[in-house]
Amino acid sequence: MDSLIINGGVKLKGEVKVSGAKNACLPMFAAALLTSQKCILRNVPNLSDVRFMAEIVGALGAKVENVAEGVWEITAKKISHVAPYELVRKMRASICVLGPLTGRLKKAEVSLPGGCVIGARPVDLHIKGLKALGCDVKIDAGYIKVDAHKMRGGQLYLGGRFGSTVTGTANVLMAAVLAPGLTMIENAACEPEIEDLCNMLVSMGAKIGGIGSPMLSIEGVKALHGTEHTVIPDRIEAGTWIIAALATRGKITVKGALKRHLGSLLDLLERANCKIEYKGNDTVCVDASRLKLRPMEAVTLPYPGFPTDLQAQLCALMTMADGISIVTERIYPERFMHVPELSRMGAEISREGPSAIIVGNTKLSGAPVMASDLRASAALVIAALAAKGRTKIQRIYHLDRGYDSMDKKLRRLGADVLRVRDE
């Protein structure tokens, strides 16, 4: 298992390029199961989650090849309808094969993904959506079993207690594109990753209206064909770089930071006194050399609200604000595993239900800490970069799941970061 050793106190400086979006490309690998023809994906990030997804799609019978850097070819001529527990348990996003198997084969058996460290992650809305399309769905022996022989378009509301569902929308959408008739999904997730998936499906011959909005209309077609699609840049990676620059009082240019995907973060930071400049639509320049960071109040919400996937990183930054900040988690109320680890570095954070109250002006100091999930790991990296002294972050395989070459990119920005293999 690898660890990162970070000697903090270096201001990040220079230019960094954002990789392709993890949460866009994972369902796209599954979408390739909807056709027997070849699908080519470009700008795919080099991540362990991507390799897991490739393994799952391959185990279902598709030919999956990483033909060049960032380019994957998937041809799903003959596929099986069963995604077993041994594969699905490795990564929750593998649930995204449910929709395509249902759409193409009219039957699916996909293991329930199991527990998750960031909190309860039910799939009731995925099931509700498929049922609304006329599928017979049962849970049996830990598997979601779908009989979709009578599937047809339907009208459904896809929201729950916490709002819309990203992978649930992806699943219902990927079944509906091959369901005869018209499907209307109300309260569909509007995340850019869903928009990108819709665009890929349209390029495969799907008929989808309302792309990017909470109301998707899908006119089922008989079959889809192959395609070539370039994945959008990762807005969460872009946001992580922006926050890291601010935390280290650095000056960086982030290329591939699409302004229209980052509105909630940029607005919050500008209100907190951060100077952010835009060059065109996809480059953000952050100069924090003279920053006097004001405290912030942030609430995570479905897109276009503030993303839960940037909450942990923002907490790390809030320890450096001039006053008390509050962050409230409305998507995963228990997603605060980073708090005890940040506290080990000197942060003063108290929990009040789904909120964290963060005392500012804290002098963080390096310490041995443990990564517990992907975004908590990113928060620890940010804290370590800003802290005085040496931090060892253990279990950074969590980071490798979702950030392409983060340590290399950090070194190019001047950070003192070393990856070491633990005994």
Please report, as ranges, the residues that interact with ligand EPU according to CB under 6 A. Answer: 23, 26, 92-93, 120-126, 160-162, 165-168, 189, 193, 308-309, 331-332, 374-375, 402
What six digits make up the tokens of 193?
Answer: 């990753």
Q: Which two tokens stand for residue 212?
A: 């990017």
Supply φ then ψ for residue 227, to 5 degrees.
-160, 175
Could you tell me how far CA 286 lies from the centroid of its own chain?
Answer: 23
Instruction: Tell me the closest approach of the beta carbon of residue 359 to ligand EPU, in angstroms.
Output: 26
Question: Is the separation of the CB atoms in 204 and 34 below 8 Å?
Answer: yes
Q: Which is nearer to ligand EPU, 7 or 48 (CB)?
A: 48
For residue 310, the minimal CB distance to ligand EPU (Å) is: 10
User: CA–CA separation, 329 vs 355, rounded Å?
Assistant: 6
Min separation Cβ 281 and ligand EPU, Å:
23
Query: SS3 sequence, 38-51?
Result: EEEEECCCCCHHHH
Given the residues 25, 39, 96, 116, the one annotated as active site: 116
Q: What is the spatial distance between Cα 116 and Cα 334, in angstroms, rounded to a whole number?
A: 11
Nearer to ligand EPU, 158 or 369 (CB): 158
- Joined together, the tokens standing for residue 346 give 């000197």
Cβ of residue 191: shortest distance to ligand EPU, in angstroms?
Answer: 6
Is the distance from CB of 121 to CB of 114 less than 8 angstroms? Answer: no
Shorter beta-carbon distance to ligand EPU: residue 14 or 114: 114
For residue 2, list its beta bridge partners: 421
How many Å apart are CA 205 and CA 221, to the nearest integer? 8
CB 363 within 8 A of CB 384: no
* Residue 77 CA: distances (Å) to CA of 35, 221, 369: 7, 19, 46
Q: Which is nearer to ligand EPU, 11 or 261 (CB)?
A: 261
Task: Please report how close the Cβ of residue 24 comes to ligand EPU at its closest, in angstroms.
Answer: 8
Nearer to ligand EPU, 125 or 135 (CB): 125
Q: In the annotation, is 116 catalytic?
A: yes
Residues acting as catalytic residues: 116
